[in-house]
Amino acid sequence: MGFIYSAAISVIIVLQQSIWNIIESVSSEVSPRALTYEEMQILEKDTWISRVWTYQELVNDRNAFFSTLAPVAQGHAIHAEKFFDCVGFSLSQWKRTRGKGHSEVLKEFRNLNTLEDTLADRQMGVYLDRVALKVVSNMALRSFDPEYPQNRLLACMGTLTQEVSWGPPSATLGELAEKMMSICESNNDYSFIYTSDIRDHTPGMRWRPSPLQPSSNEPVHLVPVVNWNNIWGTQNGQRDARGFWLDKMVLLNPAETIDEKSKEGLERLLFGYKDLKEPDKITGWVFRRQDCENEELSQVVLKYLQMIGFKGEREPQVCESGLFFSQSILSGRDSVEMYATAGIQWVWGSPGLARWKEGGEIMYCAGVFMGVVKTEAAESLLVERLV
């Protein structure tokens, strides 16, 4: 389907009458208007917004139209860009007029917020390659159907490649996950390692997510460490006579406390900053500072990460320039090392890897680094040695 959407001259998306009425009303304006609260609620509950296939439709197609099967609108179609222009504007307006932060947006309009991220990805995809971590992060915010768990991975692959076929049909989720990782590796995209998956037990491959994950009614294959798809860059790798290397990895130095610059950056992310036009006004905040006065900064950071899907260890590892939250327990492990990637950047940090020794073997897990990534210290990291 990814090939079909990308090859199509245009794609017509047929919607239910309720959402069609809203889009038609918005599109009748010369300039995009803010959606009303009632309209936003209708859109939030519409199944099209949250489907995994919707992401594939929108990011692969460059010329989409909305229509409906209603007789009164027969033959009538509206260019999708007219509607897309008002989504982010409406969410910003809602936050501003009601004095809400990003945490309230995630609670009230999770699906609309995901749609806004999808539209940004749609625009940026023209200029940048789409990486696996960005795709699975957006998919993680969408509806998961436990009766058809393969749909999520199929939609991901349809976004990452425009190949006509991926070979014979796969019988298991593990085979689909392996196909997806192989597609990424052929594109020199190793961003899929920053997932909560159990690692491979094969010697030399313990850095890589295992295609064999425990069965569950929730997604378990290639699940991102956090559901945050505003990502810059990618994670490249290379092989030589010694083994496989990950590019642009920064070793994190443990410390008693984080430095002041990093602390100020985290506080700015969480509690906002002064508006340049209105110095008495705080903007861009996730939480109100007064609501978190009795909490340590690390607790507020954890609360934020859990809001965006982090399910790893609650106790962070304190580093010089930030906090590292690992997927697995690191306390008491031997020869622990923590790395953040400089290849992929979030506005507040980077995904990362932790490794340690266990029974003579080197083990890995993914993690989230909240803080300042010192890109000037980035080096290639040998993660797989050739025997």
| DSSP symbols for 71-123 | GGGTT--EEHHHHHHHHHHHHHHHHHHHT--HHHHHHH-HHHHHHHHHHHHHH
**Interatomic CA distance for residues 118 and 64, integer angstroms:** 14
What was the pLDDT predicted at 382?
Answer: 97
- Cα 261 to Cα 232, 268, 290, 328, 348: the distances in Å are 22, 11, 22, 28, 13
Residue 127 has what pLDDT? Answer: 43
Same domain, 70 and 165: yes
Whether 227 and 306 map to the same domain: the answer is yes
Q: Does 6 lie in the same domain as 28?
A: yes
Whole-number pLDDT of residue 318: 97
DSSP 195: B
369 and 275 in a single domain? The answer is: yes
Q: Of the candidates 188, 204, 238, which is a domain's last residue? A: 188
Q: How far is 40 from 20, CA to CA, in rounded Å?
A: 13
Name every residue whose Cβ is closer than 8 Å to that of residue 184 and which is 6 or more positions away in sequence. 132, 160, 190, 191, 192
DSSP 277: S
178 with 227, same domain: the answer is: no
Domain end position, chosen among 165, 188, 211:
188
* Same domain, residue pair 73 and 157: yes
Statement to judge: residues 287 and 277 lie in one domain = yes
**Residues 156-166, buried b or exposed e (16+ Cβ, 10 A)?**
bbbbbbeeeeb
Q: What is the pLDDT along the chain (387 residues), one digit of tens a residue?
A: 777 777 788 888 888 888 888 888 887 777 778 899 999 999 999 988 899 998 888 888 778 888 888 755 555 788 888 788 788 889 989 988 888 888 888 889 999 999 888 887 777 655 456 899 999 999 999 999 999 999 999 999 988 887 765 566 667 999 999 999 999 999 999 999 999 999 999 999 999 999 999 989 999 999 999 998 888 999 999 999 999 999 999 999 999 999 999 999 999 999 998 776 777 778 888 999 999 989 999 999 999 999 999 999 999 999 999 999 999 999 999 999 999 999 999 988 999 999 999 988 999 999 999 999 999 999 999 999 886
- CA atoms lying within 13 Å on the CB side of residue 220: 15
Same domain for 237 and 89, yes or no, is no
Structural domain count, the chain: 2
Pairing of strands 232-233, 11-15: unpaired
Going by C-alpha positions, the residue among 134, 197, 210 that lies closest to residue 328 is 197
- Same domain assignment for residues 183 and 194: no
Global confidence as pTM: 0.91
Round to whole Å and give the CA distance between 26 and 28: 6
Token look-up 């099967």 returns 69
> Does 314 lie in the same domain as 206?
yes
| Residue 335: domain span | 189-387
Between CA 89 and CA 20 the distance in angstroms is 19
Q: Do residues 306 and 224 share a domain? A: yes
Phi, psi of 364 (to 5 degrees): -135, 155
SS3 state of residue 245: strand
Give, for 233, the enclosing helix (H) or strand (E): strand 232-233
Residue type, 377: A
Of 387, 303, 251, 380, nearest to 101 by C-alpha is: 303
Q: Are residues 166 and 243 in the same domain?
A: no
Domain boundary among 188, 205, 236: 188
Check: CB of residue 139 under 8 Å from CB of residue 192.
Answer: no
